[in-house]
Amino acid sequence: MFKDMNKMMQQAQKLQEKMAEMQAKMQDIESEGSAGGGLVKCILNGKGEAKSVTIDPSLLKEDEKEVLEDLIVAAMNDAKIKVDQKSQDEMQKVTGGLNLPFNI
């Protein structure tokens, strides 16, 4: 029984190490989101932090301000969805398919 418990503790420690490595990797993963048919693009890293925003010059008109603001939000949300999916995919690799709660 003690042997099984020791083995389980070692496995838990290995899993914890792999998860820490995966979280460090998430900083390097990037996802691009776009909106308005690509008129607005943004890139988020794996932790959901914005890295860049690209805006097509055709949207830089005063009467397009609200449209531009909406497209930026939509592009950010699109990138966030993609980052979340990549995070889940990476977590599946680390946990071997175990359904564990995961928050970065």
Instruction: List pLDDT tens digits, range 6-25.
Output: 888 888 888 888 878 877 77
| Start-to-end Cα distance in the chain | 34
Sorted by sequence, the CB contacts under 8 Å of residue 51 that are 6+ apart come out as 30, 42, 43, 44, 45
pLDDT at residue 54 tops 80: yes
Question: Residues 59-72: pLDDT tens digits?
Answer: 899 898 899 999 99
pLDDT category of residue 104 using cuts at 50, 70 and 90: very low
pLDDT at residue 57 tops 90: yes
Tell me what percent of the residues of the chain surpass a pLDDT of 90. 38
pLDDT top residue among 64 and 1: 64
Closest-CA residue to 53 (of 29, 69, 66): 69
> Which residue segments constitute the domains of the chain, with CATH numbers given?
28-95 (3.30.1310.10)
Give pTM, 2 decimals: 0.65
